[in-house]
Structure 1
Amino acid sequence: MKSRLLLFLLLSATFVNAQEGLTLAKLAEIEVQVDKQALKFKDSLIKRNAGADFSLDNEFETDIYRAEKLADKKVEVDYSTAGMTSAIVDLNKDYNKLLNKYYAILMKKLQPKDQEKLKISQRNWIKFRDSEDELIGIITKTEYSGGGTIQSNIMAGRISDLTKSRLYFIKGHLNQFVN
């Protein structure tokens, strides 16, 4: 009887402390929360700039804030290794969307004769990223890293950092424009 009671208590404690899981409904709820926080964040940037026109900067910072806050909230709900990896992979997808957005803005600012240089640069970066992704995959193998489930987080994080770095690089190019 005591062993059954102990087993029941252990199972109950596990159930009570179980992770909530990231359902579609929970994700939608998180996105609404993050959108509200991002709007407040953008308002604070506008207020901080005292009316000066930093609209592209504000938009960029708000976009980054939103993507990273969304990843943080996903991890708060599912803090398992798989949940963290999934949040980082999603963060990389968000960075990639932002990279495409700011690449398109940069493309529009360039004269047609100079747009080809940006296209070549981006294609070369994609080749670099893909080869670096492959190397990261190799280095995180058990035979080199010692293994463990944390390697998936490390790998996803390093890949995400590559995309974020390129995103900031593209934004740096945009900062060069005078108008």
Structure 2
Amino acid sequence: MIRKIFIVLLLTSSFANAQVELTPAKVAQITNQVDRLAIKYRDSVSKKFGEKVMSLDTEFKTDLYRVEKIADLKVAVDYSTAGMTAAIVDLNRDYDQLLNKYYGILLKKLKGEDQEKLKLAQRNWIKFRDSEILVITTVSKDQYSGGGTIQSNIMAGRISDLTKERLFTIKNHLNQFIE
């Protein structure tokens, strides 16, 4: 009898802590929750630096906070290997959107021929990124990495890091400007 009760309790606790499917409705709920948190975060950063108008630095920190918090909450809901990989892939997409946003801001701050230099650098970075992704996917093959489902997470994380690093490079260029 005690054994049956133990098994029932064990199964009940397993179901209580089971991951939930990350449905579009759940993603929308997470996004809405993070949007509210991002506003509080932005306000606390602005207040800390005594800003009356939000600075580009505060906007950047808030944007970064938002996309990373969404990824964290997605993983908290679906912490399977596939769920983590999907969250990292989405995070990379979000980093790429931020990269495009801040690249556009930097491009507008530059004049004619200097814009062309930035465009060339970005095209070259895209070629580098694409080449590096080929290397990342190659070394993630079972014959080199030893395999395992975790390789998808490692590969997605390394690809996401490429985009995040470029985003920070663009932001560092923006930091050079005197406002």
> Where does residue 100 of structure 2 map in the other structure?
100
Which TM-score applies when normalising by structure 1? Answer: 0.92
Please give the per-residue CA displacement for 1:16-57, whole angstroms capped at 9, x wherever unaligned.
443111111111110111001111110011011023766100
> Where does residue 114 of structure 1 map in the other structure?
114
Question: C-alpha separation between the residues in 1 aligned to 2:94 and 2:78?
Answer: 19
Which TM-score applies when normalising by structure 2? Answer: 0.92
The amino acid that maps onto 1:58 is T
> Where does residue 30 of structure 1 map in the other structure?
30
Find out whether 1:164 has 2:164 as its counterpart. yes
Find out whether 1:48 has 2:44 as its counterpart. no
Question: C-alpha separation between the residues in 1 aligned to 2:77 and 2:28?
Answer: 13
Name the CA shift for 1:42/1:9 in 2 (closer, same or farther; >3 Å).
Answer: closer
Q: CA deviation at 1:116?
A: 0.6
- Give % identity: 64
Please give the per-residue CA displacement for 1:54-100, whole angstroms capped at 9, x wherever unaligned.
61000000000000000000000000000000000000000000000
Question: C-alpha separation between the residues in 2 aligned to 1:122 and 1:81?
Answer: 32
Please give the per-residue CA displacement for 1:93-118, whole angstroms capped at 9, x wherever unaligned.
00000000000000000001211111
SS in structure 1 of the partner of residue 73 of structure 2: helix
Q: Aligned pairs, how many?
A: 179
Which runs of structure 1 show a deviation greater than 2 angstroms over 4 or more consecutive aligned residues? Answer: 4-18, 51-54
Question: C-alpha separation between the residues in 1 aligned to 2:41 and 2:35?
Answer: 10
> Where does residue 84 of structure 1 map in the other structure?
84
SS in structure 2 of the partner of residue 159 of structure 1: helix
**What is the root-mean-square deviation in Å for CA atoms of aligned residues?**
2.2
Name the CA shift for 1:51/1:6 in 2 (closer, same or farther; >3 Å).
Answer: closer
SS in structure 1 of the partner of residue 29 of structure 2: helix
The amino acid that maps onto 2:83 is G
The amino acid that maps onto 2:90 is D
> Where does residue 177 of structure 1 map in the other structure?
177
Q: CA deviation at 1:8?
A: 7.5
